[in-house]
Amino acid sequence: MNDIKERRLTLQERKRYNRQMLIQGWGETGQLKLRNARVTVAGSGGLGNPASLYLAAAGVGRITLIDNDCYELSNLNRQILSCEQDIGRPKVDAAKEKLCALNSTIQVNTQNKTIKADNVDALIKDSDVVIDAMDNWATRYILNKACIDNRIPLVHAGIQGLSGQITTIIPGKGPCLQCLIPKPPPEVRPFPVLGATAGLFATLQVMEAIKLILGTGETLVGRLFLLSGEDMTCNIVRISRSLDCPACGKLK
């Protein structure tokens, strides 16, 4: 996934990332993989804000943000890269500003666009991992299909209220999003959400993305992790690939 060549971390990078580099199996080699990684965050809202924040904090070298909305007052309970002064600004512009202030050594690219079937391939090309931080199923299906066609891992999460779900999709190695949910569920607007729910599942998405980049640990491929914050119960459901899936059924 990454070509670390003969590059070495700088002294400042060693100091910045020291605590995570102490994790078994990480070290300088793992940190170099992160520095050379390219992660696309599709959506810069409740999930996308904290996800991109922790990707930047971890030292992911190139982060691309895709979103065409501007911040509104109602976003501020969960979209933590915004503040009152950002209301009316494009989300990707305000988010990039905060991410670069946190970590000036990374590259943040922005796409102030809506993901569509005719532009999605260009938007996610060259990504090592894509984070699904969308809030509607029509766009999620487009993103899912594009990641399958381009053989790019996709980390999906969905939230509502105090509950959420997360799974990881590796094309050809397990079920895709449309295997899990063949038809889009009814869209309810606005849907309830607590900021902490978004933060929790976004950080889990980052954990999955980092494991994919480092090639370590066990990801949620073929498994759906569900958590209800109402009573703090969680469950992991095994999910299988559907040979009739219109998105990945013919993939070998």
**Average pLDDT in the 42-60 region?**
98
**Average pLDDT in the 71-84 region?**
97
pLDDT computed for residue 81 by the predictor: 97
Q: What is the DSSP letter of 84?
A: G
Of the chain, the percentage scoring pLDDT greater than 70 comes to 98
User: Residue 32 pLDDT more than 90?
Assistant: yes
pLDDT in tens, 176-232: 999 999 988 888 888 899 999 999 999 999 999 999 999 999 999 999 999 999 999
pLDDT band at 3 (very low <50, low <70, confident <90, very high): very low
* C-alpha distance from residue 200 to each of 95, 166, 207 (Å): 19, 11, 11
Tell me if 97 is assigned to some domain. yes
Residue keyed to tokens 């381009």? 150
Tell me if 115 is assigned to some domain. yes
User: Residue 15 pLDDT more than 80?
Assistant: yes
Tell me if 32 is assigned to some domain. no
Q: In degrees to the nearest 10, what's the CA dihedral of 121, 141, 89, 160?
A: -150
pLDDT in tens, 99-154: 999 999 999 999 999 999 999 999 999 999 999 999 999 999 999 999 999 999 99
pLDDT computed for residue 4 by the predictor: 43
pLDDT computed for residue 2 by the predictor: 44
Instruction: For the chain, give the mean pLDDT.
Output: 95
Q: Which domain holds residue 66?
A: 37-161+189-219
Residue keyed to tokens 């992660």? 39
pLDDT computed for residue 7 by the predictor: 75
pLDDT in tens, 102-114: 999 999 999 999 9
pLDDT computed for residue 185 by the predictor: 84
User: Residue 172 pLDDT more than 60?
Assistant: yes
Model's pTM, two decimal places? Answer: 0.95
pLDDT computed for residue 226 by the predictor: 98
Tell me if 228 is assigned to some domain. no
Residue 81 maps to which CATH number? Answer: 3.40.50.720
For residues 208 and 215, what is the distance between their CA atoms, to the nearest angstrom? 10
Tell me if 227 is assigned to some domain. no
* C-alpha distance from residue 220 to each of 76, 128, 224 (Å): 30, 17, 7
pLDDT computed for residue 100 by the predictor: 98
Exposure string for 172-207, b = 16+ CB within 10 A, e = fewer: eebbbbbbbbeeeeeeeeeeebbbebbbbbbbbbbb
How many Cβ atoms sit within 10 Å of the Cβ of residue 250? 10
Tell me if 3 is assigned to some domain. no
Number of domains making up the chain: 1
How many Cβ atoms sit within 10 Å of the Cβ of residue 217? 12
Amino acid at 36: N
pLDDT computed for residue 76 by the predictor: 97
pLDDT computed for residue 6 by the predictor: 45
